[in-house]
Amino acid sequence: MSQTHPTSGPPPHAVVLQMLTGKWVSAAIAAVAKFGIADHLESGPKSAKELASLTGTDEQALYRLLRATASLGVFTELEDGRFDQTPLSEPLRSHANPCLRNMAMLFLDDWFTRTWAQLPWSVQTGRSAAYKVYGKSPWEVFQDQPDQAVNFNNAMTDMSQADSPALAGAYDFSQFEDVVDIGGGLGLLLASVLQSAPKLRGTLFEMPYVAEQAQASPILKPFADRCQIQAGNFLEFVSPGADAYMMKHIIHDWDDEHSTRILSNCRKAIKPGGKLLVMDQVVGPRNQPGLAKIMDLEMLVNPGGLERTEKQWNDLFAASGFRLERIIRTPVPQCIIEGSPV
């Protein structure tokens, strides 16, 4: 007769149930971000009544939202019933650095929630759920819905605040004369790189509607004497003549066919002896936990791309005219995947 042995921790069904409620957790955090609760608590603890008055919400409903997020450690409920900040609420402040407020609010955006509801369709077809929901790619959705595009780019800027300085500090950019940041959003990564290498010249290469936002942004203004912004489509061409081409969170948006086209355009443009620097995650070994494996599902559902293993990166570089030289681990989830033209 087999014996059962007590195990530590909650039973499997309780663990799975907690996993299933993850969607509720992200929605709750997104809601407090939307209402700017962390900003309102900068001046000190406040009651649900005070916060409801400041945010135009129902006092009792807001209290329940605050109680729930306090149970997660995002806020803390004091003995007198007021709520206060915690270290976890710090990134939700509008002026925090790094800031995740826009990223959090993205989880409530209509396009985001509607596409993720179609995850089974994406698994059945292997295609972005945007085609099921909107009949077009997410990039076309952004062109048709500028407000959604602004929300998305603000969220990406939030993410860049956290990882750009770390990536810039993990590589010696002073060896180059010119660097092109392909799909660099509003320019946070390029600004960090230019800050790290005072003699380096830079070009931000972006879609026209993003380039227009970048022109209006103050991020690259301190480097105006050695930086330019160019509009274009990297599926067609990239700015030529630089000795370094970098892109962060770009290639994982695309399948192998489109990724090869983008990297091949870099190969045509790069100077002899130059370097390709792809800043993306590398999927770890089987069964090993990691953000890349969950992010990979986001790549499937929305842009239709994928996160890649080291072998997949090696194969992609080879198909595009590059040799993968090394993968540099950094303090943030992204690696710097370095390639040389062949």
In this prediction, residue 2 carries a pLDDT of 46
**Residue range 55-103, pLDDT digits in tens:** 999 999 999 999 999 999 999 999 999 999 999 999 999 999 889 999 9
Written as one string, the DSSP assignment of 29-76 is HHHHHHTTHHHHTTTS-B-HHHHHHHHT--HHHHHHHHHHHHHTTSEE
- The average pLDDT across 101-124 equals 95
Check pLDDT > 70 for residue 6: no
In a shared domain, residues 116 and 225: yes
CA–CA gap between residue 131 and residue 150 (Å, rounded): 21
In this prediction, residue 147 carries a pLDDT of 84
Select from 333, 165, 191 the least CA-distant residue to 249: 333
Written as one string, the DSSP assignment of 114-161 is HHHTTHHHHHHHSS-THHHHTSS-HHHHHHH-HHHHHHHHHHHHHHHH
- The average pLDDT across 49-54 equals 99
- The average pLDDT across 189-213 equals 96
CA–CA gap between residue 264 and residue 277 (Å, rounded): 14
What residue type is 134 in one-letter code?
Y
Q: What range defines the domain where residue 24 resides?
A: 12-108
Listed residues 108, 141, 156: the one ending a domain: 108
In a shared domain, residues 28 and 86: yes
Flag whether the pTM goes above 0.75: yes
The confidence band for 45, taking pLDDT boundaries of 50, 70 and 90, is very high
Residue at 51 is within a domain: yes
CATH number at residue 84: 1.10.10.10
Percentage of the chain with pLDDT > 70?
98
Structural domain count of the chain: 2
In this prediction, residue 154 carries a pLDDT of 86
Listed residues 87, 108, 129: the one ending a domain: 108
In this prediction, residue 151 carries a pLDDT of 85
3-state class of 107 per DSSP? coil
Active-site residue, selected from the candidate residues 5, 40, 95, 252 = 252
Residue at 3 is within a domain: no
In a shared domain, residues 270 and 135: yes
3-state class of 280 per DSSP? strand
In a shared domain, residues 73 and 191: no
In a shared domain, residues 208 and 313: yes
Whether 40 is catalytic is: no
CA–CA gap between residue 156 and residue 337 (Å, rounded): 20
- The average pLDDT across 178-201 equals 96
Tokens linked to 316: 């992609």
CA–CA gap between residue 155 and residue 148 (Å, rounded): 11
In this prediction, residue 309 carries a pLDDT of 98
In a shared domain, residues 68 and 182: no
Q: The dihedral of CA 50, 51, 54, 57: what is its sign?
A: negative
In a shared domain, residues 194 and 331: yes
* Orientation of helix 48-55 relative to helix 59-71, angle to 10°: 110
What does pLDDT average to over the chain? Answer: 95
Written as one string, the DSSP assignment of 213-234 is HHHHSSTTGGGGGGEEEEE--T
**Residue range 297-317, pLDDT digits in tens:** 999 999 999 999 999 999 999
In this prediction, residue 153 carries a pLDDT of 82
In a shared domain, residues 144 and 253: yes
In a shared domain, residues 309 and 166: yes
In a shared domain, residues 186 and 285: yes
Check pLDDT > 80 for residue 5: no
322 touches 340 (CB < 8 A) = yes
129 touches 116 (CB < 8 A) = yes
**Residue range 239-294, pLDDT digits in tens:** 999 999 999 999 999 999 999 999 999 999 999 999 999 999 999 999 999 999 99
CA–CA gap between residue 131 and residue 125 (Å, rounded): 11
Tokens linked to 13: 């069904």
The confidence band for 149, taking pLDDT boundaries of 50, 70 and 90, is confident
